[in-house]
Amino acid sequence: MKYIQLNGLNKDVSVIGAGCMRIARMTRDEVSELVHAALDHGINFFDHADIYGRGRSEEVFGEVFAAEPELRDRMFLQTKCGINQGMFDFSKEHILEAVNGSLQRLGTDHVDSLLLHRPDALMEPEEVAEAFTELYEAGKVLSFGVSNQNPSQMELLKTAVKFPLTANQLQLSIAHTPLLDAGFNVDMAHDPAVMRDGGTLEYCRINKMAVQAWSPLQVGYFTGTFLANEAFGELNEKLNELAEKYGVGTDSIAYAWILRIPGKMQVITGTTKAERLVHAAEAADIVLDRREWYDLYKAAGNRLP
């Protein structure tokens, strides 16, 4: 496993993260098995959100802590807040209420990281700063970041928030590459040249923020995976070729493609299968060469100018 350190924290964090969105329907024993599989293979990063399973994902994770409290010190625990009954809500009141609820459900006195879950157009940076300061001084949250935000939104937040932003959680996969496309097509008069994100990938790298890639095997916004998808025949052919070369699964190659991007890259898996977590862990040890990386990008249907 490979590890990075997030801004302002002296902690090793695995480049593979176990996303916990889908564990709400699992039993405590099933989640315990998943947690142990992750830890046994060097994955110490667990990603939650207060809305996952309407709170049940955090609850069942807390049940694991109640049965095995020693596990808490072995992991880096992250949660997210800001989605509130069909709207986005970065008010101080909601942030504090949401974090206290997450801590109660998780059965812990602190989380290592808190992300703001998507942008709130009505955000007042000063309110967010007050909430973050109160949470930090109470020892409830050790670091802060964002998700799905562009550089201007992060700069606006930083006008009041003085904590370093540790991470930006963004959708990225071989088959979903808006973060990359415009960078290849600067000053071109066609659709891939449209800057949809304001240079977010570059901004995060300049500011030493981790990019946490969610839905790393998805085609679009929860529209299905590209693995073994007939619509992505060329991509799967290339994935199979590289999987055979490196002696891993095609999913490992897909994760390795993300990790090959320079900067602090993390992959947030969404699997509930222990064996799939093992595949993800294997990806951390694969370094695709430049030709392999670009061949995969093009095999997904992207064209270089």
Catalytic residues, by residue number, are 52
Cα separation, 39 vs 167, whole angstroms: 22
**Distances from the Cα of 193 to the Cα of 182, 185, 295, angstroms:** 4, 5, 20
Cβ(88)–Cβ(115) below 8 Å: no
Closest CA to 213 of 168, 175, 267, 150: 267
Cβ(118)–Cβ(82) below 8 Å: yes
DSSP state, residue 164:
P
Give the tokens for residue 132: 């973050």
